[in-house]
């Protein structure tokens, strides 16, 4: 094991944190904490779309840049890497069983999510309950549940095709609006209640909050990029919904 391997390993850990919904500072923390007692100097700069890290040893500087393209919410991986990095940072360089840690990180990165059917069911539960918090009536509960489950099936399918989030959100918003119109047309629930409830799983609420949190923390670059990300997804969802609502309005439907 040499310093290149150490750096690569730590950056992969940081990348796992970042790709799975960990905050920017947590990713930075992970890399720094893991290498702090093993190299002379470690500097990292993490943005939501890339990781820069360099270490210095005997006057020699090594740097790596890692581009991060996909972002997901998989907090289990964040927790596992957090645990791993804590243990790793306690190790001394000369007694370190490096291969064991590399193998463990590889395993963490290949872990899957919960069962597909359960995920869809819980998307429905989450959306219908959130709808109730946002002021829907009890009448909307069931149609929202149905719309959200179909929406989740839809979105998961498109995500597997690796379409961009922007397109997925437009299609998803349009789909939710369409089902909402169908349900409310046969007077099962109200249009607004169903739409807002069922798109809740797509909406960037957490992203907006994280952007502000980064800004308060002083991570200005990542605050701006997360803010833009959140803005784009709000725009795309509303565009999808607005498109269908306008068509419905033009062909003479009631809103």
Partner 1 sequence: MILQILYGFFATAGFAFLFNVPFDAIVVSGLSGAIGWAGYLLSMKIYPSIVAASFIASLFIGIMGEVFAQKKKYPTTIFVIPGIIPLVPGAYSYKTVLAIIQGNNKQAFDLGLQTIGIALAIAAGLMFVVSFSRIRKR
Residues lying near partner 1 in the complex (CB under 8 A):
21-23, 26, 73-79, 82-83, 113-114, 118-119, 122-127, 129-130, 132-134, 196, 199-201, 203-206, 208-213, 215-217, 230-231, 234-235, 237-239, 241-242
CA-nearest of 78, 66, 74, 64 to 26 is: 78
Cα–Cα distance for residue pair 196/96, rounded to 1 Å: 52
CB of 44 to partner 1, least distance (A): 18
Q: Which residue's CB is nearer to partner 1, number 21 or number 50? A: 21
DSSP 95-149: G--HHHHHHHHHHHHT---S-HHHHHHHHHHHHHHHHHHTT--GGGHHHHHHHHH
The answer to whether residues 55 and 7 touch, using CB atoms and an 8 Å cutoff, is yes
| Closer to partner 1 by Cβ: residue 39 or 208 | 208
- In the bound state with partner 1, the residue whose beta carbon lies nearer, of 3 and 141, is 141
Residue 255 CB, shortest distance to partner 1, in Å, is 10
CB nearer to partner 1: give 40 or 83: 83
Query: How near is the Cβ of 40 to partner 1 at its closest, in Å?
Result: 26
Give the nearest distance from C-beta 247 to partner 1 in angstroms: 13
C-beta closer to partner 1: residue 42 or 123: 123
User: Which C-beta is closer to partner 1: that of 98 or that of 122?
Assistant: 122
Q: Can you give 11-29 as a three-state secondary structure string?
A: HHHHHHHHHCCCCHHHHHH
Please tell me the distance from the alpha carbon of residue 78 to that of residue 152, in angstroms, as a whole number. 23
Q: Which residues contact 128 (CB under 8 A, 6 or more apart)?
A: 140, 141, 142, 144, 145, 148, 197
Q: How far is the CB of 75 from partner 1 (least distance, A)?
A: 5
Q: How far is the CB of 129 from partner 1 (least distance, A)?
A: 4
Main-chain dihedrals φ then ψ at residue 134, nearest 5 degrees = -90, 10
Give the separation between CA 93 and CA 47, rounded to whole angstroms: 28
d(Cα 99, Cα 105) in Å, to the nearest integer? 10
Beta bridge partners of 44: 53
């Amino acid at each position: 094991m040499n310093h290149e391997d150490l750096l690569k390993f730590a950056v992969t850990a940081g990348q796992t944190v970042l790709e799975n919904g960990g905050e920017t500072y947590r990713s930075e923390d992970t890399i720094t904490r893991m290498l702090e007692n093993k190299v002379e100097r470690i500097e990292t700069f993490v943005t939501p779309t890339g990781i820069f890290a360099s270490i210095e040893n005997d006057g020699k500087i090594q740097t790596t840049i890692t581009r991060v393209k996909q972002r997901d919410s998989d907090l289990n991986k964040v927790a596992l890497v957090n645990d791993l990095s804590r243990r790793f940072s306690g190790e001394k360089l000369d007694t370190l069983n490096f291969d064991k840690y590399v193998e463990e990180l590889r395993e963490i990165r290949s872990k899957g999510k919960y069962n597909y059917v359960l995920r869809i069911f819980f998307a429905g539960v989450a959306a219908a309950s959130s709808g109730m918090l946002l002021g829907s009536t009890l009448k909307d509960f069931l149609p929202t549940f149905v719309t959200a489950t179909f929406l989740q099936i839809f979105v998961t399918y498109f995500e597997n095709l690796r379409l961009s989030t922007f397109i997925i959100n437009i299609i998803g918003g349009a789909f939710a609006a369409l089902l909402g119109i169908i349900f409310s047309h046969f007077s099962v629930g109200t249009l607004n209640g169903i739409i807002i409830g069922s798109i809740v799983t797509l909406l960037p609420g957490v992203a907006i909050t994280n952007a502000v949190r980064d800004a308060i923390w002083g991570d200005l670059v990542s605050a701006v990029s997360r803010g833009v990300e959140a803005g784009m997804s709000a725009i795309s969802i509303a565009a999808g919904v607005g498109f269908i609502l306008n068509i419905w309005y033009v062909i003479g439907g009631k809103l």
